[in-house]
Structure 1
Amino acid sequence: MDNKIARNLSLKQFRAFVSVANCGSFSGAAQELAISQPALSLSIQQFEEIVGVPLLSRTTRSVSLTPLGQEFLPRAEKILADVESAILSTRTSAEKQKNRVTVAVLPSIAIRILPQAIRSYSALAPNVKIHMQDDNGRGVEAQVLNGDADFGISNSWSDNTELNYQPFLRDQMGLICRGDHKLARRKSPLTWSDLTDLSFVGMAPDTGTSRLTKGVEGLPTCVLSPDFTVLTIAALVGIIEGGEAVSALPALAAPDYLNPSLVYRSLSEPELYRELQLIIPKNRPLSSAADKFTEFLLGQYHEISSMFPNHTVKSATSLS
């Protein structure tokens, strides 16, 4: 369609034409559209001028469609129906999105934190549906930036200037080993130096866990230059189960809850914590539902920390 024609046409003119065609009179159409007859006649006149051909045949007693008008009528009706359908579909989508919150999270958050939080929140807001998508730290940020998620929960990956990072939780790094390992049975607190000369399983350099220990002074050589390097927790568990190797992970990422043969014990000297944050887009306001869910999560740290012994998971604002 010529751009000039498209700019001059209006839905009111389409409705006027369809109404006159179906009513067979200007008076009936004017009553149906709740406008005056002169206004309706002017609208039809302008419409025919834009289309460029006569669509209606007028006599003193009746109005009928010209042959071209008969050909044009079903197309005009379809245009109006398509517009109405598009509007209704958009409104329906908007209503669904209004009560839907998508959260991008680290796998450890997806397993240890979100399920219980979602159940608790659903009891308070049963009409809101929380959709969870797990990813690594880089992926969580990408989902928030791309609009695939309303917000994310992760440790800061890139300090992107288009994102706000709101402190949420901090979980302590600790030893992961088999339950029959000598360090698992030790009654005294463990320090990083206790890992000296042990066979160690490290996470790949491009992971948040690896970045926690990079450049930290005082850590054993085996931690900084591990015997094994893996990308997934599943691979780490497999190696530890099969021998004397040990590893270190943040408390929420510890696989002891999945495998009773493994244990987690916090490590000190130094105490290392993973800082978890709510990652929120700066230039895209949260929906009301997403905003309320973030407020709910921030108020849940007492319940979350109580699930983990010895204060290995704390509020991000807690330094004790």
Structure 2
Amino acid sequence: MNVTLRQLRAFVEVVRCAGFTAAARKLHLTQSATSLLVRELESQLGLPLVDRTTRQIALTDAGREFLDSAERILADVEHAVANTQDLVQKRRGRVTVATTPFLAGNFLPEVIARFQESHPAITVRVADLSTEQIVRVVDSGDADIGFGVFPQMDVALERAVMLRHSLGVMVPSGWPLAQRRRRLNWADLEGQPLIGLATAGGFRSLVDPLLHREGVPRVPRFEVGHMSTAVGMVEAGLGVTVVPAYVGALVRSTRARFRELHEPVVHRHVELVWRAARSLSPGAEAFRACLVERCKQL
């Protein structure tokens, strides 16, 4: 059986318009073409749906029973098409972004606020996770995009550099190290109480060799799991912590100061990742564009 939507539409309009002539005008077809579509439908079903007279049409018992199903099918199709158009026009949808707790709390809220101004019907879900978890949920399709630092990945994801910043150090505002100058050398960290991130993260593998080269003890006085926690401890005057420059730009605090680290200058990339074999939804594409624009400003 090969029943088409055109045949269903012709049958429903003939019934609604109580005749082939009026239905043909509404369908922008000739009367003969409209009649042919209904006959083809009856042939496919193997029974008549309408009784034709010279002046009017009347539904058969089978036609009366089939009409409800035909109208429901057409309504479902129209609803599906309308929903798809809403997605294409970015009038509705859902975007899931996986990122680190620091970026989730200090960077994404402003991006989401700007995005919602132009796309109020698109729901944005934020998953604040570790780097390993971000990679996993993006690869599995549970998140549309990931935003963070991914020095090494076991899976193949598309990736694009969003931010490129040098490393620096957050220092309590009242400490002499914060008063000396805008730029510090790695050797200046010798003797300072360090607040380090857990060794499970990739950041320590980048920072520790640099500290070791300058004779700075690599074992921190405090060890924490998230960068936002390390910054909070700096604000409490417990020590200093090495961070990317974007952290210094995003932390608006009078209790801590950011100083760039030189000799050497080391850069760190924040990237956007997504599944290579999966097309982003229109809503996710729109959010990515908004994220790119904000990163350019930062």
User: When the two structures are superposed, what TM-score results if normalisation uses the length of structure 2?
Assistant: 0.72
2:221 is matched with 227
Instruction: Say yes or no: does 1:179 pair with 2:168.
Output: no
Gaps of 5+ in 1: 305-320
Match of 2:158 in 1: 163
Could you tell me which amino acid in structure 2 is paired with residue 88 of structure 1? A
Offset of 1:185 from its aligned partner? 4.5
- The answer to whether residue 57 in structure 2 is matched with residue 63 in structure 1 is yes
Query: For residues 97-154 of structure 1, what are the alpha-carbon distances to aligned partners after superposition, in whole Å with 9 as ceiling and x for unaligned?
Result: 69999866555556666677889x88xxx846796947444455556653844x6543
How far does the alpha carbon of each residue in 1:217-269 deviate from its partner, in whole angstroms, 9 at most, with x for none?
A: 5154633x223221123433454455653322223224994442223333334
2:33 aligned partner: 39
- Tell me if the contact between 2:135 and 2:146 (Cα under 8 Å) persists in the aligned partners: yes
Aligned equivalent of 1:263, options 246, 257, 272: 257
Q: Hey, what's the Cα distance between the residues in 2 that align with 1:132 and 1:21?
A: 46
Partner of 1:218: 213
User: Is the alpha carbon distance of 1:39 and 1:265 closer, same or farther for their aligned partners in structure 2, counting shifts above 3 Å?
Assistant: closer
CA contact (8 A) 1:155 1:276 kept: yes
Three-state SS of the structure 1 residue aligned to 2:164 is strand
Q: Which residue does the alignment assign to 2:69?
A: 75
Bigger drift between 29-38 and 137-146 goes to: 137-146
Q: In the TM superposition, what is the alpha-carbon distance from 1:155 to its structure 2 partner?
A: 2.5
Q: CA RMSD in A?
A: 4.2
Alignment of 1:1-320 (within 5 A): 5=1, 8-96=2-90, 106=100, 108-109=102-103, 127=118, 133=126, 135=128, 136-138=130-132, 141=135, 145=139, 146=141, 148-149=143-144, 153-159=147-153, 161-166=156-161, 168-174=163-169, 176-186=170-180, 190-216=184-210, 217-220=212-215, 222-223=217-218, 225-237=219-231, 239-240=233-234, 244-254=238-248, 257-279=251-273, 282-283=276-277, 289=286, 293=290, 296=293, 300=296, 304=298
Which amino acid in the other structure matches residue 29 of structure 2? I
CA change 1:265–1:161 in 2 (3 A) is same
Match of 1:310 in 2: none
Identical positions, percent: 30
